[in-house]
Amino acid sequence: MDCSGSTRSILSGQETVSCTESNLKMISAAFYIPKNNPLKPLGDDAHFICELEQTIGVADGVGGWDKKGIDAGIYARKLMSNAADSVKDEKKKNGVVIPKRVLWKAFLKTEEKGSSTACIISLRGEFLHCVNVGDSKFVLIRDGKVVFRSPVQTVRFNCPYQLGRVSKTPSIAEDFKCRVEEGDVIVVGTDGLFDNVYEKSLEAIVNRGLPQDIKLERLASRIANFARMQAEDPCARTPFQRDSRRAGFQHDGGKYDDITVVVALIKSRGIASIVAGCSTHPLDLIKVRMQLQGEASAPAFQTLRPALAFHTTAGHAHQHISLPPPPRVGPVAVGARIIQQEGVAALFSGVSATVLRQTLYSTTRMGLYDILKQKWTDPNSNNIPLMRKIAAGLIAGGIGAAVGNPADVAMVRMQADGRLPLAQRRNYKSVVDAISQMAKSEGVTSLWRGSSLTVNRAMLVTASQLASYDQFKEIILEKHLMKDGLGTHVTASFAAGFVAAVASNPVDVIKTRVMNMKVEAGMAPPYSGAMDCAMKTIRAEGPMSLYKGFIPTISRQGPFTVVLFVTLEQVRKLLKDF
């Protein structure tokens, strides 16, 4: 049948869409158990997960087509494949995914014979945007209880609405949205799941699984296998048995069917990093000041920084005076001096840049790290080797750092401004002002000054921090040193923070100096690059100068990492405690 006339308004119509970003993301995993049928080993169900586009979907080919020699599973699989392609196309062209538009596009592309139910949901901001045809559906579990269930469409008992070339079009689909919160669990499934498992049983399985921090794939597997057990039990009490009797039929036990389960967990993208970054900002500022100690006064730098060189009185030849480096002071003394000379508020200089940096950098790196971990996890053992964790951290950290570099440059300059003479201070009012002034006076490329160092440092930090946290936590749990809880999270976090500090401090020192250097018109820059800065620093101040600021670094990394991971893992409990 020709459906183009009925769909033109849907595909070309203008819809007001909110593109507001939130700190929420959806992590998903699936498990599928087809019916035991040698003639149809793939069964009739299909699903897709578009992790980057935050969209998932399921479909159930209608088995009645078997009587006509048609495999409805082919239709369902093609529909979901086309839906996944349409999701990516929508996101690329329009920036957002509208499930009903996706379903229309997939429907029009699917020319195979057969029919299917369908359920597609997409996370946008704080809402799940959904479209549904038939009896595939999802439930939303919050704080251990089902708080929302999507509506189903049936003509009569065991006869759902269907999409197909000789059936219905997506014009019959119900589209709706529901608000989600961090920690929510969404269970999407075909009727093979919901015909065999009551919501109370779903709640129990989810509540047992999540506190143990099991992989989502394993949780989906548990749900699917429980549904299969119910389906094969002639004495089981099931929703299908209940509904059949309400419809006047006598059916005992479960319904033997294909079972598709997609489990999604709503997590925070980066609010934990922002909280952690702000709470440890004073330590970060002290670290930057310590890393710059000795830079201006070292003899090797006198000819490189004319603005800071000493001059003789008028009438005498211009000369540079070599003075012994001033005594280096520790973090407590540096902090006390900042408070004494600049006030307590100075400890939070550049905090707006910290917020922007964590928003751009940490949300990107942690989101990518989770995605790569999901993709690289062994499906049989549900584990990921340490080297893959490290590789995921390196990739995610590097990309995140490149995205957040402008805010990083602004943060370093704003933190270091107080150590300069009044006449030389930049006096940025905010991170926006800092980025704007740098772009105007030094060019847009200045926003990525030191980016190679930022990327290298971020790769080291992310790989060492995230991978070592996962590894330490696994060791603690495998050896039964502690139960999975706050103690385990804190211990693994501190260990990960120490590893990250040791690995990243040398690069951090060089990064700070390169980003902070002041380039005068007509003068050669203090450093020609990262290697030049490293060599001059080592020659003038010794190899251990690369570990300047290590005490505030570890003092910051420890609490930062603890706040980061504990907030991620126990955010609801912590918010209640606060």
Residues 428 and 457 in one domain: yes
Candidates 195, 255, 197; CA nearest to 222 is: 197
Torsion of CA 38, 39, 43, 44, to 10 degrees: -160
Q: Is residue 533 part of a domain?
A: yes
- Distance of alpha carbon 470 from alpha carbon 157, whole angstroms: 48
Q: Tens digit of pLDDT for each residue in 53-84?
A: 999 999 999 988 988 899 989 999 999 999 99
Residues 91 and 76 in one domain: yes
Residues 471 and 522 in one domain: yes
Q: How far apart are the first and last CA of the chain?
A: 61
pLDDT class of 21 with cuts at 50, 70, 90: very low
* Residue 249, φ and ψ in degrees, nearest 5: -105, 160
Residue appearing with tokens 């094969």 = 232
Report yes or no: 78 and 280 within 8 Å, Cβ to Cβ: no
Residues 195 and 264 in one domain: yes
Residues 282 and 224 in one domain: no
Candidates 205, 190, 84; CA nearest to 136 is: 190
Query: At 9, which CATH number?
Result: 3.60.40.10
According to DSSP, residue 120 is labeled E
Residues 344 and 394 in one domain: yes
Q: Is residue 318 part of a domain?
A: no
Q: Is residue 502 part of a domain?
A: yes
Residues 264 and 279 in one domain: no
Q: Tens digit of pLDDT for each residue in 288-344?
A: 666 566 554 433 333 333 333 333 333 434 444 444 555 556 667 777 887 888 777
Report yes or no: 364 and 44 within 8 Å, Cβ to Cβ: no
Radius of gyration (C-alpha) of the chain in whole angstroms = 29
Residues 228 and 91 in one domain: yes
Q: Is residue 174 part of a domain?
A: yes
- Distance of alpha carbon 221 from alpha carbon 275, whole angstroms: 34
- Distance of alpha carbon 67 from alpha carbon 549, whole angstroms: 75
What pLDDT, on a 0 to 100 scale, did the predictor assign at position 326?
Answer: 53
pLDDT of residue 382 exceeding 70: no
Residues 520 and 467 in one domain: yes
Residue appearing with tokens 């200045």 = 446
- Which tokens is 380 given? 């049989």
Write the single-letter amino acid at 367: G
> What DSSP element (H or E) covers 164?
strand 163-164
Residues 299 and 347 in one domain: yes
Q: Is residue 245 part of a domain?
A: no
Highest mean pLDDT among 204-213, 354-363, 435-444: 435-444
pLDDT of residue 526 exceeding 90: no
What pLDDT, on a 0 to 100 scale, did the predictor assign at position 366?
Answer: 75
Q: Is residue 249 part of a domain?
A: no
- Which tokens is 518 given? 């002041």
Q: Is residue 451 part of a domain?
A: yes
Assessment of whether the complete model's pTM goes beyond 0.85: no
Question: In the chain, how many domains are there?
Answer: 2
Q: Is residue 247 part of a domain?
A: no
Residues 59 and 183 in one domain: yes
Angle subtended at Cα 97 by Cα 403 and Cα 155, rounded to the nearest 5 degrees:
155
Parent domain of 570: 271-311+325-577
* Strand-strand pairing, 174-179 and 259-268: unpaired
Residue appearing with tokens 């012994």 = 324
Query: At 353, which CATH number?
Result: 1.50.40.10
Candidates 261, 203, 210; CA nearest to 231 is: 261
Residues 335 and 409 in one domain: yes
To the nearest whole percent, how much of the chain has pLDDT over 90?
Answer: 34
